Amino acid sequence: MTLGSIREQLYGTAPPRGLYCAFPLGRPLGVPNDPTFQHRVLARAFGLLEATSPTVVDYGETITDDPEEVLVCPLPLRHDPEAHPAVDEARGLRAAYERAVKKFGNRTGAVRHLDADAVPDAIAAFIRVAEGTPWKEAGIPGIPARAAQDIRGYYEMAAMEIAGHTPAAWAGYRWYRDQTETGTVIKSAQKAMKDSGTKEALWRFLLPLDAQVT
Amino acid sequence: MRSDLRLNFDPATAKEGIVTDTYIKTGAARTECPTFEDPAFVTPKPLVSSKVAIVTSASLHHEDDDDFAPVDTGFRVLERGRRDIVVGHWSPNFDATGVSADLNVVFPIDRLEEMAADGHIGSVSDIHLAVAGNQFDLAGIRLDGGPAAAALLQEHEVDVVLLTPV
């Protein structure tokens, strides 16, 4: 029995039993920390076991990605005027990040390739890329997209702790992309890699596909 | 069946202000997906006596297990009692804060335990599986990783599988 987040894909592949849920990508059960909601989805999904022939249906409830939904998350004050603002910002978020890891565990933070200690230096590498250094010479630890994922995860976890709640889907990402110094660095690095003729697969996934690389 | 599927995104058509989720889903919706002329369909035994497992494409793995590769048609085993789980997904195109805050929004293991305790399902499988999302080598999944995963679930006498997509 398959849940689906993209209607055309679910109906197109036609699994034996499918439930299309119009929920944000990354939240197939809809609402985090809401067991009642999640049980409702599961009840509907398991109900499809009663079907006597291949069946794909819509769940019915919709959760949309609302661009008006913003994450209010104050960033730390500057501490080291000698450091690049993005590096200083990342260091300033460390305590909040560590509290988030203690509270939530570390499923999506600096955990795949970088650890928290390595985040500021990784950001410094992307700063060099944004300023024109070829990405291979900039000292990015490992594959750029993986390092960028860990940086984003570090920021989003810190933001969840500072904000004091789990944001609506994508609100944390938009905060990171648009409100932080590091988000600006990553966008600039992405553009620099693209403009230098770097293979698309290496820069396209530094950020989600909605990021406008002009 | 084509094995060189690619996401059919067109950044040039993205409009300023378009919501992230909608933009990504619109592109993904244009991706050609495989169709199966004769999909497997069975009638399972009653849910109240069924053993249930989760299979997720969220690329989850235990902290001491191998990370997923960018191209990875294999799977990782998730043990029922362990919650030390990392999201090893290579795509950035989903909201990650949900699963950061609550594993169950992607991998509803605690919900299954509650359903078993309440008698709605027979039991929770001791093993669950995670595969990598964002894969295009469908032949590898269909001929190798997929059958191996199914065999393991059968070995553990799983009756019902819930697939969760990321």
Record the tokens describing residue B101, joined without a space: 């805050």
Min Cα separation B103/chain A (Å): 8
> Across all residues in chain A, what is the average pLDDT?
94
Q: Are residues A112 and A161 in the same domain?
A: yes
- Closest Cβ opposite residue A38 in set B27, B87, B111: B111
Residue of A nearest to B161 (CA): A1
- What average pLDDT score do residues A149-161 get? 97
Instruction: State the pLDDT at residue B4.
Output: 33
> Across all residues in chain B, what is the average pLDDT?
89
- What average pLDDT score do residues A110-137 get? 96
Point out the least confidently predicted range of A46-55, B3-12, B25-34, B110-119: B3-12
Record the tokens describing residue A198, joined without a space: 């770097």
Q: How many Å apart are CA A25 and CA A34, to the nearest integer? A: 17
CA–CA–CA angle A144, A101, A117 (5° rounding): 45
Q: Which domain holds residue A137?
A: 85-206
Question: A78 lies in a domain?
Answer: no
Instruction: State the pLDDT at residue B18.
Output: 62
Instruction: State the pLDDT at residue A68.
Output: 78
Chain-centre distance for alpha carbon A68: 18
Q: What percent of chain B has pLDDT over 90?
A: 70
Q: What percent of chain B has pLDDT over 70?
A: 89
Cβ contact, residue pair B111, A39, below 8 Å:
yes
Instruction: State the pLDDT at residue B11.
Output: 52
User: B40 at the A interface (CB within 8 A)?
Assistant: yes
Cβ contact, residue pair B166, A25, below 8 Å:
yes
Q: Which of B34-38, B134-138, B139-143 has the highest mean pLDDT?
A: B139-143
Q: Are residues A54 and A99 in the same domain?
A: no
- What average pLDDT score do residues B12-30 get? 73
Of B20 and B125, the one with more pLDDT: B125
Q: Are residues A189 and A89 in the same domain?
A: yes
Min Cα separation B79/chain A (Å): 16
Q: Are residues A183 and A119 in the same domain?
A: yes
Cβ contact, residue pair B33, A12, below 8 Å:
yes
Question: A142 lies in a domain?
Answer: yes
- Closest Cβ opposite residue A28 in set B9, B110, B166: B166
User: B12 at the A interface (CB within 8 A)?
Assistant: no
Q: Are residues A104 and A145 in the same domain?
A: yes
Question: A75 lies in a domain?
Answer: no
- Closest Cβ opposite residue A107 in set B30, B67, B87: B87
Q: Are residues A192 and A132 in the same domain?
A: yes
- What average pLDDT score do residues B50-59 get? 98
Q: Are residues A30 and A123 in the same domain?
A: no
- Closest Cβ opposite residue B17 in set A24, A67, A213: A67
Q: Are residues A190 and A118 in the same domain?
A: yes
Instruction: State the pLDDT at residue B22.
Output: 86
SS3 label, residue B29? helix
User: A104 at the B interface (CB within 8 A)?
Assistant: yes
pLDDT of B162 higher than 80: yes
Q: Are residues A55 and A109 in the same domain?
A: no
Question: A29 lies in a domain?
Answer: yes
pLDDT of B137 higher than 60: yes
Distances from the Cα of A32 to the Cαs of A167, B23, B97, in angstroms?
10, 22, 9
Of A14 and A48, the one with more pLDDT: A48
Instruction: State the pLDDT at residue A210.
Output: 79
- What average pLDDT score do residues A141-156 get? 96
Question: A51 lies in a domain?
Answer: yes
Q: What is the ipTM for the molecules in this complex?
A: 0.95
pLDDT of B36 higher than 90: no
Cβ contact, residue pair A5, B40, below 8 Å:
no
pLDDT of B12 higher than 80: no
Residues 168-207 of A with CB under 8 A from B: 169-174, 205-207
pLDDT of B39 higher than 90: no
Residues 123-162 of B with CB under 8 A from A: 160-162
Query: Each residue of B86-115: pLDDT tens digit?
Result: 999 999 999 999 999 999 999 999 999 999
Instruction: State the pLDDT at residue B101.
Output: 97
Question: A152 lies in a domain?
Answer: yes
Cβ contact, residue pair A149, B92, below 8 Å:
yes
Q: What percent of chain A has pLDDT over 70?
A: 98
One-character DSSP codes across chain A:
-EEESSHHHHHHH--SEEEEEE--TT-TTSSTT-HHHHHHHHHHHHHGGG-SS-EEEEEEEE----TT-----PPPPP--TTS-HHHHHHHHTHHHHHHHHHHH-SSSSTTSS--GGGHHHHHHHHHHHHTT--GGGTT--S-HHHHHHHHHHHHHHHHHHHHTSPPPTTHHHHHHHHHSHHHHHHHHHHHHHHHTT--HHHHGGGS-TTS---
Q: Are residues A131 and A162 in the same domain?
A: yes
Instruction: State the pLDDT at residue B94.
Output: 96
Question: A80 lies in a domain?
Answer: no
Cβ contact, residue pair A166, B97, below 8 Å:
yes
**Which pLDDT band, with edges at 50, 70 and 90, does B51 fall under?**
very high
Instruction: State the pLDDT at residue B2.
Output: 33
pTM: 0.93
Instruction: Report the number of distinct structural domains present in chain A.
Output: 2
Q: How many Å apart are CA B92 and CA A128, to the nearest integer? A: 22
Query: Each residue of A30-83: pLDDT tens digit?
Result: 999 999 999 999 999 999 999 999 999 999 999 988 877 788 899 999 999 999
Instruction: State the pLDDT at residue B6.
Output: 45
Question: A144 lies in a domain?
Answer: yes
**Which pLDDT band, with edges at 50, 70 and 90, does B5 fall under?**
very low
Cβ contact, residue pair A145, B108, below 8 Å:
no
The answer for residues whose C-beta is within 8 angstroms of residue B154's C-beta and 6 or more apart is none
Q: How many Å apart are CA A59 and CA A44, to the nearest integer? A: 7
Q: Are residues A183 and A92 in the same domain?
A: yes
Q: Are residues A94 and A190 in the same domain?
A: yes
- What average pLDDT score do residues B59-78 get? 95
